[in-house]
Chain A
Amino acid sequence: MTNKTVLHAKHLASGAKMVDFHGWEMPINYGSQIEEHNAVRQNAGMFDVSHMTIVDVQGTDAKSFLRRLVINDVEKLKVAGKALYTGMLNEAGGVIDDLIIYFFSDTNYRLVVNSATREKDLAWMTKQSTGFDITITERPEFGMIAVQGPQAKAKVATLLTTEQNAAVEGMKPFFGVQVGELFIATTGYTGEDGYEVIVPDTAAEDFWQKLLDAGVAPCGLGARDTLRLEAGMNLYGLDMDETVSPIAANMAWTISWEPTERDFIGREVLTAQKAAGDQPKLVGLVMEAKGVLRSHQKVVTAFGEGEITSGTFSPTLGHTVALARVPRSVKVGDIVEVEMRKKLVKVQVTKPSFVRNGKKVF
């Protein structure tokens, strides 16, 4: 069965080309993926991300449950609305999913997880909740729209009430606030300024239309992928999955090792991996010559083989970029080879981040 988001009709009205995305019929583009990409880098674009799964975790033990469930430590969250990015691991230290957790109080958190992993995420969370006094509530009655780009906030501001504008004024990155019927967060998946807005299904179409009228370009999953890859952000299922350690997926920064007595799932395995120092790592690859690096191409280095996890043409840079998992001894600045169409071509190793706020960053 194919799911449709609350904005499905709006996509068709804008001429979207629809594709199946893990059981959801979603827009891949509205004509030109590259023009949509550029709209986000230069002005403002919006994405329907209503397929993503919102899960509220509430109750007396909400904090202690999340301190066990994920590798980052929600104890760090002290200010209402503050969010953190993290991973949820299995006992073997593999990534079940990556997610964002918003903190409202020690007994009230909101999680946003991937749609492709919805069922296993919910099953895992439910299983792990045994013994904790919490409720886990999926919130399918909301749509979600990501408005991104240097002009995104200004354009959204024209649609907000005075009260809403006051609430988001000066809001730092990685915060969210519920004001009126909207939950407005300074998060995103593009490397640009902007908001992710959670809106009740009943108001979603109207909000989307007002954004269109304000000159925000509708953007599909194609542009979403090139934007996140330029920004060096992981895509679950490509850059990491249940067989991959967060240490091998550029997610070590989301692991909170202190305090040492916090017993999060996967801790033992990660501690051993860290001590052994033998996990591969995720790096960036850049090639200025013609051609496009693609997922699953083999990488040949002086220290052994690796693999491209995500690759694309970067519209902002005008050449190809990729994320690749390679042996840990490979260094930024090294030249390695990629097997492309049966030939080995030389590429440069960079940090796994290419574009932020419209500018090259490597």
Chain B
Amino acid sequence: MTYTWDFHSVWQYYDLFLWGLWISVVYTFGSIFFGIVIGLATCAARLSSWKVLNAIARVYQEIFRCTPLLVQLLWFYYAFPLLVGGSIDNRVAALLTLSLYVGAFYAEIFRGGIVSIDRGQHEAASAIGMSPAQSMRRIILPQALKRVLPSFINQSVIQFKNTSLVSVISVADLAYMAAVVNGQTYRPLESYTLMAGLYIAMLLPLTQAADWIERRLRVSD
């Protein structure tokens, strides 16, 4: 089979691709930001001795870790508005779902990092008169964050890819735009290959940076 590649006709829509890419980046960083906030709060709840808080955090985490992101997006966009009455903007639904989804995973990563720090560290901090908050902030967290950085970056890379699912609720991200261009040009091979190339171009530097950071952290230990 001989196929004549024609990226030219697809590239005419470069502004759609770039705009879609920008939207993907915005949803990625937006959901990472809110995800960190949600993740830290959930992590604190999981580590607290207050049982009710603990249980709520656990239920939240399991719901979001044990259902597919696609299902969550559909539920928040189509089902949630019926439950509360009214409607929800598809962009709000997308950001909310992405944030809650990644927050559940971040919480587990943060918690794992904190409990992996030797008890003796907290004891040593306490022994020089530090309060539990001082010990957490100055001794436990810096060590825990360093330890979880590789998993955190890894989860964030996955998050970037996951944003492509928001196209199913018509958020005009990169995947959505690629489909639009395909509809215009009838060039699926070029449209979708270009989309894949753009994802790689965004994520390859990130994964390389993650490897580099991981190597550097190991040296200073």
- The reply to whether chain A is a binding partner of chain B is no
A residues contacting B by CB (< 8 A) are none
B residues contacting A by CB (< 8 A) are none
